[in-house]
Chain A
């Protein structure tokens, strides 16, 4: 479905990621692990078209998306939920969700249907639909950010550290929701610090170090890998 081939990205002279190769197949959950500054978010920004690769190419369902603008990439079916989980604070929860459906703005019925699905997944958003998004708690804001991304009916969703800063109980719920989204038919590429939880729901993973992928394999293989266990799982 998505493949990155030898992708490198530079900020000025600084090479943030180098010769990255990633394969995501339809229906999978794939996780990117790595310390702070390893290059996970840069990879996401590049897939969504916010950064352009210096070398290499990115293919989505067979065709290159490198030359597409970010809005075309969303239309093609890839949506990103960025790590800063930015909302439109003065808009209501529902208005935020509606903004997520921007690419389908002419299909009113379809949007309504998707909105119901999102409310079903995150009932709290329905309860608070008329509140200003800025008044939500951190966890609710993350749900809203994910819900908003879902409103574009993506085939592939990029989730950048969805569990960051959330209480353990909420983290657990968050991963359950992610699994639910995946079972409903959305392929997921996930960046996480929370390696244990992420690998438990993922099919496979890639481990970043200083802008390079140093280990890759199925979740099982990564769980079994001594170095990965030490560095990221801590057991």
Chain B
């Protein structure tokens, strides 16, 4: 029984499920919602790398998401660059700005870091909102092209875009998986555990924190660029603090510092939001308490809760087997 639920099979099962979804659902609206959820997941993975694994809660994440989106939008619409070069350049630009912000932001720690990045996020939002000459201000940026065809493969249909975003998401998860299980990932976890300890083992915390920060902005940039090409219209709102908080909620509900948390949290909250749409903004009356309960009873979110339960179950089973053996021996 347990063998069916081995990690590998679950992963393969989920990928198959995601791949079949368009044919099962046969509904463009669901497809749209899920594609968007995948894009959020990519951003949440970036946030999770920094906040979850390295222990630095950045509140500028939506800002970097917006930079990625606007970079793609401006490069394609105003600079009339081709889609693919722009799509590659957008995350690079985001990462470059992330690097500069990181150098300064990482001089602070804990809540000061959170406050500092909160300000950075707001400044990014203001720049986008007020610099009308460049960004179009509140009117936003329209006419962003969808992903250009790759040879014979057209990426203009909703199904094609779904698969395109899914592919990028899977790549992102693979990269994150590799990072977390590498020495670099362990270094991030060491920094989260205790910076003094990491330092006294010879780890350059400055370099590694900056690396984590830059990586996290990279994923935000990728997500932003995907968003811009998927929605094809962007306004300053995507850099708003609300978006940062949405991403935070996805991460915390799913499980901060877990590998599958961003998927679980994003899917659950997006699904709930869809079903609670009739409540409009009163949805927060449900999300607020939900978030509070999770933070109190399972700081590692739903994934942490299930993992803990599973470990206990395995332990108990071991004990049971041992007891059974002892009894058998007695007989």
Residues of chain A whose beta carbon lies under 8 Å from any beta carbon of chain B: 48-50, 69-71, 74-75, 79-80, 82, 86, 88-91, 95, 98-100, 102-103, 105, 148, 152
B201 pairs with A99, CB closer than 8 A: yes
A50 pairs with B202, CB closer than 8 A: no
Q: Which of A48, A74, A86, A98 touches B193 (beta carbons < 8 Å)?
A: A86
Q: Shortest CB–CB separation between residue A91 and chain B, in angstroms?
A: 7
A103-B197 contact, Cβ under 8 Å, with A88-B189, A91-B189: no
A103 pairs with B196, CB closer than 8 A: no
Alpha-carbon separation in the docked complex, A91 to B196 (Å): 17
Q: Shortest CB–CB separation between residue A209 and chain B, in angstroms?
A: 26
B199 pairs with A50, CB closer than 8 A: yes
- Sample of 9 more A-B contacts, CB < 8 Å, known A69-B204, A89-B193: A50-B196, A69-B199, A71-B202, A71-B203, A79-B202, A91-B186, A99-B186, A102-B201, A152-B202
Chain B hits for A86, CB < 8 A: 193-194, 197
A48 pairs with B200, CB closer than 8 A: yes
Q: Which of B186, B201, B203, B205 touches A95 (beta carbons < 8 Å)?
A: B186
A71 pairs with B193, CB closer than 8 A: no
A100-B204 contact, Cβ under 8 Å, with A91-B189, A95-B186: no
Alpha-carbon separation in the docked complex, A91 to B190 (Å): 10
Chain A hits for B196, CB < 8 A: 50, 82
Chain B hits for A71, CB < 8 A: 199, 202-205
Q: Is B175 an interface residue (CB 8 A)?
A: no
Across chains A and B, which 8 residue pairs bring their CB atoms closest together, nearest first? Answer: A74-B202, A103-B202, A70-B199, A71-B204, A71-B202, A80-B200, A86-B197, A102-B202
Alpha-carbon separation in the docked complex, A75 to B206 (Å): 16
Alpha-carbon separation in the docked complex, A105 to B203 (Å): 11
A/B interface sample: 11 pairs, CB < 8 A: A48-B200, A70-B199, A70-B200, A79-B202, A88-B189, A91-B186, A99-B190, A102-B201, A102-B202, A105-B183, A152-B202
A82 pairs with B186, CB closer than 8 A: no
Q: Is B212 an interface residue (CB 8 A)?
A: no
Alpha-carbon separation in the docked complex, A211 to B36 (Å): 61
Give the residue among B197, B203, B205 with the most A Cβ atoms within 10 A.
B197
Q: Which of B183, B190, B200 touches A50 (beta carbons < 8 Å)?
A: B200
Q: Shortest CB–CB separation between residue B201 and chain A, in angstroms?
A: 5
Q: Is B244 an interface residue (CB 8 A)?
A: no
Alpha-carbon separation in the docked complex, A69 to B198 (Å): 12
Alpha-carbon separation in the docked complex, A82 to B198 (Å): 12
Alpha-carbon separation in the docked complex, A73 to B18 (Å): 50
Q: Shortest CB–CB separation between residue B267 and chain A, in angstroms?
A: 25
Q: Shortest CB–CB separation between residue A117 and chain B, in angstroms?
A: 18
Chain B stretch 164-216: residues in CB contact (< 8 A) with chain A: 183, 186-187, 189-190, 193-194, 196-197, 199-206
A88-B193 contact, Cβ under 8 Å, with A71-B199, A148-B201: yes
Chain A hits for B206, CB < 8 A: 69
Give the residue among B183, B189, B200, B201 with the most A Cβ atoms within 10 A.
B200
Chain B hits for A48, CB < 8 A: 199-200
B197 pairs with A82, CB closer than 8 A: yes
Chain B hits for A88, CB < 8 A: 186, 189-190, 193
Chain A hits for B183, CB < 8 A: 98, 102, 105
Q: Shortest CB–CB separation between residue B222 and chain A, in angstroms?
A: 28
Q: Which residue of A lies closest to B205 (CB)?
A: A71
Q: Which of A70, A82, A102, A148 touches B187 (beta carbons < 8 Å)?
A: A102
Q: Shortest CB–CB separation between residue A159 and chain B, in angstroms?
A: 12
Chain A hits for B186, CB < 8 A: 88, 91, 95, 98-99
B200 pairs with A74, CB closer than 8 A: yes
Give the residue among A70, A90, A95 with the most B Cβ atoms within 10 A.
A70
Chain B hits for A100, CB < 8 A: 201
Chain A hits for B193, CB < 8 A: 86, 88-89
Chain B hits for A69, CB < 8 A: 199, 204, 206
Q: Shortest CB–CB separation between residue A45 and chain B, in angstroms?
A: 8
B201 pairs with A74, CB closer than 8 A: yes
Q: Shortest CB–CB separation between residue B8 and chain A, in angstroms?
A: 20
Alpha-carbon separation in the docked complex, A152 to B204 (Å): 14
Chain B hits for A91, CB < 8 A: 186, 189
Alpha-carbon separation in the docked complex, A105 to B197 (Å): 17
Alpha-carbon separation in the docked complex, A86 to B191 (Å): 12
Alpha-carbon separation in the docked complex, A135 to B166 (Å): 39
Alpha-carbon separation in the docked complex, A48 to B198 (Å): 12
Alpha-carbon separation in the docked complex, A86 to B196 (Å): 10
Chain B hits for A105, CB < 8 A: 183
Give the residue among A69, A74, A82, A88 with the most B Cβ atoms within 10 A.
A88
Q: Which residue of A lies closest to B200 (CB)?
A: A80
Q: Which residue of A lies closest to B184 (CB)?
A: A105
Give the residue among B194, B201, B203, B206 with the most A Cβ atoms within 10 A.
B201
Alpha-carbon separation in the docked complex, A5 to B187 (Å): 34
Alpha-carbon separation in the docked complex, A33 to B36 (Å): 63
